[in-house]
Amino acid sequence: MSIRIANLKRVETILLVAGLALVGFAVAVYVGGRVYSRMAVDKFHAEARTTSPDIPRRELKSVFPVDYSLWSPKRIKGYEATLAEHFDVHLALLRIDKIRLEVPVFDGTDDRILDRGAGRIAGTARIGESGNVGIAGHRDGFFRGLKDINLGDTMVLETATGTQTYVIDSIKLVTPDDVSVLKSEPTPALTLVTCYPFYFIGSAPQRFIVHASLKGETKT
């Protein structure tokens, strides 16, 4: 009986040692993989620094304070709520001096983004690329001042690498399903989209479209 107990204890000891060895091996593999991954990432960044010199970038700073005078109470509340949230760095600042508008432009047009600023419409040209960049904004927030613009007015799109100046050459109303206003163009253009009428209660039946063509560009 004592021999059987001794054999069982010996088997238990062997299994325990084998189990500890397997755990140790797994830990070693995991740690080794993490170290290797970290080394690979560091190598990638090191090579990127040597092959792609840093492009000088400037901080985008506002010129005009946010003016709530034309905003609806709902839009003011929505904007202020976003100030406590984290947002990715905006792509650009859209500025129209005539109506003292300056608004950050983010990528996308969901409610959260349009409460905070304006948004690049998916499927349109990316900011900094040639083509037609579509930018949407709320009619009862940042974009309500568009009611006072005219043909020939200028607007500026400022990015971290330069400034583009556009001249407004078309203002029109379309139905919500008319996406032809966002069609691709061979030359740089900017199309602003918001709901219309500006003071309509409920779901607005039309879209107010402002199209502008590139006048000049300054690189930093």
Say if residue 96 is in the same domain as residue 126.
Answer: yes
Please report whether residue 65 resides in a domain. no
Residues of the chain falling short of pLDDT 70: 1-64
Say if residue 147 is in the same domain as residue 208.
Answer: yes
Say if residue 136 is in the same domain as residue 199.
Answer: yes
Positions annotated as catalytic residues are 138, 195
Say if residue 177 is in the same domain as residue 78.
Answer: yes
Please report whether residue 133 resides in a domain. yes
Residues of the domain holding 21: 1-54
Buried b (16+ CB within 10 A) or exposed e, 163-183: bbbbebeebeeeeeeeeebbe
Say if residue 192 is in the same domain as residue 92.
Answer: yes
Say if residue 98 is in the same domain as residue 181.
Answer: yes
Say if residue 198 is in the same domain as residue 90.
Answer: yes
Cα dihedral 75/83/155/162 (nearest 10) = -160
Please report whether residue 59 resides in a domain. no
Give tens-digit pLDDT for 34-65: 333 334 334 333 433 333 344 344 455 555 67
- Count of helices and strands (H, E) across the chain: 3, 8
Say if residue 31 is in the same domain as residue 91.
Answer: no
Query: How many distinct structural domains can be found in the chain?
Result: 2
pLDDT at 219: 86
Q: Residue 114 gets which letter from DSSP?
A: H
**CATH number where 129 lies:** 2.40.260.10
Say if residue 3 is in the same domain as residue 93.
Answer: no
Largest CA distance in the chain: 104
Please report whether residue 63 resides in a domain. no
Please report whether residue 61 resides in a domain. no
pLDDT at 128: 84
Say if residue 83 is in the same domain as residue 165.
Answer: yes
Say if residue 179 is in the same domain as residue 207.
Answer: yes
pLDDT at 168: 98
